[in-house]
Chain A
């Protein structure tokens, strides 16, 4: 049987655009049909914006690649209408074990907070992730949404203009030209779009190679994340074992810098390494093997006129902490509502500059965290190794050292502190829901808060009065009136009010807080709406 990632899902078909006498203009063209490009396209199409996705191949991700998806991206996928199949298929895990040399030094439980619709993490192969997103595209198409994916359409040239972008696209039947009002470039770490526009991509190279092997085995390892520092089976290096659906296990082995990649990838060299790790008596089958190196870097700006970069095309991190695909989905979550308002003439083009500000803030946070994890996992000097080993030795005996162990600080959403879209915090409320934060979820009887906050500006009132609808500068804001009594667990109160008796929140279409006050003050909230849409 063919693997899912070996079968074309959106095979090349000739399109009328290829026979047009003058290049056809589209509203938005998304370059790349990975998780980020598909996320952008679904987001826009759901809101009625015409979008064409161009992908240089016609299949989902080759191999499992990104496997660890965090709560915030799952919440975004809920908004995009494809969170449920991911969570249904994905493997949930909470326990992590840390090994040093030949012994377990400690284990931890993520202890996810109650009262959230989505779990802290799921593990799911990127090919399933993309399959479910492509299925969502097909579902939207069946409903008449203006979205299409063109397989084996590779962008080969780009021309930028003040009010549009021109591109040349290569297909199996030759090339053709297209125009777009806007382009979202989600074409990955090696982004040809970035190269064609001659944009920088500077940062830190980590001189190391990692072998990824996905193995299919019937093993009774528990559903836990196991991380080894300097294990006997991979001396001086690190190793990771993590479960995926369908009995597939991700094994990640650090190999060092001076290796022959092609040689190391051959099964006759991979299998002995795996046997040394898993034991001679474990039967397994190799599904996919890859060797990767990584860099931590970002573009200086993500917006270049009418070309907007997102995901790995804009920024790259080490895999430790699952901050790649997870942060890319937060890019397009941030971008699409802004682009929609600009396209509708409801916000100035300069609103898009806040995408740069907010997501560069996010990228820098991710780069910082993943660089620190990498420095801990792969110490680059004698003294950094000595200190690292000291932390690990102490962690076996004393609890105090465990927070210093860094095998990846797992992805959490970035708070846009200092964003030009935020209004000053006027509520003496919990820090976690201050302006700039992604709204924490909370239970509401049989349902949850976040699904009620999607795609539009919302005025969330908790035990406070306010008009049901507020219109300001072309933006319609609807009220969601709640009371602390709507949530018997009191999570809503704890997460949004703290000690305050009431609260009014202005929440953006991407479920981030723009403003909050103890009560509704019309002038203040009108100003906050203008500010959150780049009009002030």
Chain B
């Protein structure tokens, strides 16, 4: 498995995924949405598992990608 974070398009049916992401938040309060997002981050992080990639993902999300 590569130790490099993928930052090129990688999701089949990107529009469908995005709609699903919005749908799961539908009707939730801000607090409940924040909680869901936090759970989602943890679920996805566990799926990735690779510590080096997680570090790169944190930097990418902070818009501070490593040079």
Is B52 located at the chain interface by the 8 A CB criterion?
Answer: no
Contact B38 A389 (CB under 8 A): yes
CB-CB under 8 A from B43, the residues of chain A are 394, 398, 400
CB-CB under 8 A from B39, the residues of chain A are 390, 393-394
In the complex, how many angstroms separate the beta carbon of B61 from the nearest chain A beta carbon? 13
Contact A400 B35 (CB under 8 A): no
Mark contacts of B27-63 with chain A using CB atoms, 8 A cut-off: 1 yes-contact digit, 0 otherwise.
0000000110011011100100000000000000000
Contact B35 A393 (CB under 8 A): yes
- What is the chain B residue whose CB lies nearest that of A401? B42
Max chain A Cβ within 10 angstroms of own Cβ: one of B34, B35, B42? B42
Is A387 located at the chain interface by the 8 A CB criterion?
Answer: yes
Q: Given the complex of chains A and B, what is the CA–CA distance between A390 and B41 in angstroms?
A: 9
Mark contacts of A377-409 with chain B using CB atoms, 8 A cut-off: 1 yes-contact digit, 0 otherwise.
000000000110111011000101100100000
Q: Is the interface of B mostly helix, strand, loop or mixed?
A: helix
Interface size class of B (residues with CB under 8 A): under 10
In the complex, how many angstroms separate the beta carbon of B32 from the nearest chain A beta carbon? 10
Contact B46 A400 (CB under 8 A): yes
Q: Given the complex of chains A and B, what is the CA–CA distance between A387 and B46 in angstroms?
A: 14
Q: Given the complex of chains A and B, what is the CA–CA distance between A117 and B42 in angstroms?
A: 39
Contact B34 A386 (CB under 8 A): yes
CB-CB under 8 A from A394, the residues of chain B are 39, 42-43
In the complex, how many angstroms separate the beta carbon of A390 from the nearest chain B beta carbon? 3
Contact B42 A386 (CB under 8 A): no
Contact A391 B34 (CB under 8 A): no
- What is the chain B residue whose CB lies nearest that of A391? B42
CB-CB under 8 A from B38, the residues of chain A are 386-387, 389-390
CB-CB under 8 A from A398, the residues of chain B are 43
Q: Given the complex of chains A and B, what is the CA–CA distance between A394 and B43 in angstroms?
A: 9
CB-CB under 8 A from A387, the residues of chain B are 38, 41-42
Max chain A Cβ within 10 angstroms of own Cβ: one of B34, B39, B43, B46? B39
Q: Given the complex of chains A and B, what is the CA–CA distance between A393 and B39 in angstroms?
A: 8
In the complex, how many angstroms separate the beta carbon of A50 from the nearest chain B beta carbon? 52
Q: Given the complex of chains A and B, what is the CA–CA distance between A391 and B46 in angstroms?
A: 12
Q: Given the complex of chains A and B, what is the CA–CA distance between A404 and B54 in angstroms?
A: 15
Q: Given the complex of chains A and B, what is the CA–CA distance between A386 and B37 in angstroms?
A: 9
CB-CB under 8 A from A389, the residues of chain B are 35, 38
Q: Given the complex of chains A and B, what is the CA–CA distance between A393 and B38 in angstroms?
A: 10
Q: Given the complex of chains A and B, what is the CA–CA distance between A393 and B42 in angstroms?
A: 11
In the complex, how many angstroms separate the beta carbon of B54 from the nearest chain A beta carbon? 13
Contact B46 A390 (CB under 8 A): no
CB-CB under 8 A from B35, the residues of chain A are 386, 389-390, 393
Contact B42 A404 (CB under 8 A): yes
In the complex, how many angstroms separate the beta carbon of A376 from the nearest chain B beta carbon? 13
In the complex, how many angstroms separate the beta carbon of B58 from the nearest chain A beta carbon? 13
CB-CB under 8 A from B41, the residues of chain A are 387, 390
In the complex, how many angstroms separate the beta carbon of A237 from the nearest chain B beta carbon? 19
Q: Given the complex of chains A and B, what is the CA–CA distance between A387 and B36 in angstroms?
A: 10
- What is the chain A residue whose CB lies nearest that of B47? A400
Q: Given the complex of chains A and B, what is the CA–CA distance between A394 and B42 in angstroms?
A: 9
CB-CB under 8 A from B42, the residues of chain A are 387, 390-391, 394, 401, 404
Question: Which residues of A in the span 395-437 have a Cβ within 8 Å of any Cβ on B?
Answer: 398, 400-401, 404
User: 8 more A-B contacts (CB under 8 A) besides A390-B35, A394-B43?
Assistant: A386-B35, A386-B38, A387-B41, A389-B35, A390-B38, A390-B39, A400-B46, A404-B42
Which A residues fall within an 8 A CB radius of B?
A: 386-387, 389-391, 393-394, 398, 400-401, 404
Give the top 10 A-B pairs by smallest Cβ distance, nearest first: A390-B38, A390-B39, A400-B46, A387-B38, A386-B38, A386-B34, A394-B39, A390-B42, A394-B42, A390-B35
Which B residues fall within an 8 A CB radius of A?
A: 34-35, 38-39, 41-43, 46
Chosen A-B contacts, 25 in total, with CB atoms closer than 8 Å, are A386-B34, A386-B35, A386-B38, A387-B38, A387-B41, A387-B42, A389-B35, A389-B38, A390-B35, A390-B38, A390-B39, A390-B41, A390-B42, A391-B42, A393-B35, A393-B39, A394-B39, A394-B42, A394-B43, A398-B43, A400-B43, A400-B46, A401-B42, A401-B46, A404-B42
